[in-house]
């Protein structure tokens, strides 16, 4: 298992979409299983995840939220999906009327073909 990307308290103000959160060494992955965990500071944050330009999650609400506490794998799994080899992308969007934050972890487990 490899942590592809993670961030604590990614902050987005009203109406903004983040830059791609996956970059660097693990931007391109082999065939495997992708897991995305996210914890928003309040309701409203949306997540989009792409594999080779194909949407795995498209503007889905981050379902669990809390202003305090820690992210737990058992409680904050947003996506678990088999993925093809290639590029991963992850974007967050804040369509609400205030500033929101999100903590997230993106993991990849390589599998044999």
Interval 63-102: pLDDT, tens: 766 666 778 887 889 999 999 999 999 999 999 989 999 9
Alpha-carbon torsion 106, 54, 56, 96, what sign? positive
Q: How many CB atoms lie within 10 A of CB 55?
A: 12
Domain ranges of the chain: 2-110
CATH for 2-110 is 2.60.120.260
Is the separation of the CB atoms in 48 and 88 below 8 Å?
Answer: no
Our CA dihedral for 68, 19, 87, 31, rounded to 10 degrees, sits at: 0
Q: What is the pLDDT of residue 41?
A: 87
pLDDT digits (tens, 9 = 90+) for 22-45: 998 899 999 999 999 999 888 899
Strand, helix or coil at 15? coil
pLDDT top residue among 70 and 105: 105
Is the separation of the CB atoms in 80 and 33 below 8 Å?
Answer: yes
């Amino acid at each position: 298992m490899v942590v592809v990307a993670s961030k604590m308290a990614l902050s987005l103000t009203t109406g903004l979409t983040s830059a791609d959160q996956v970059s660097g060494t693990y931007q391109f992955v082999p065939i495997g299983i992708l897991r995305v965990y996210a914890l928003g500071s309040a309701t409203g944050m949306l997540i989009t995840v792409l594999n080779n330009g194909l949407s795995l999650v498209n503007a889905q609400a981050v379902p669990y939220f809390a202003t305090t506490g820690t992210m737990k794998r058992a409680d904050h799994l947003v996506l678990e999906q088999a993925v093809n080899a290639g590029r991963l992308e992850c974007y967050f969007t804040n369509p609400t009327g205030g500033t929101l934050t999100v903590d997230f972890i993106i993991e990849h487990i390589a599998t044999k073909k």
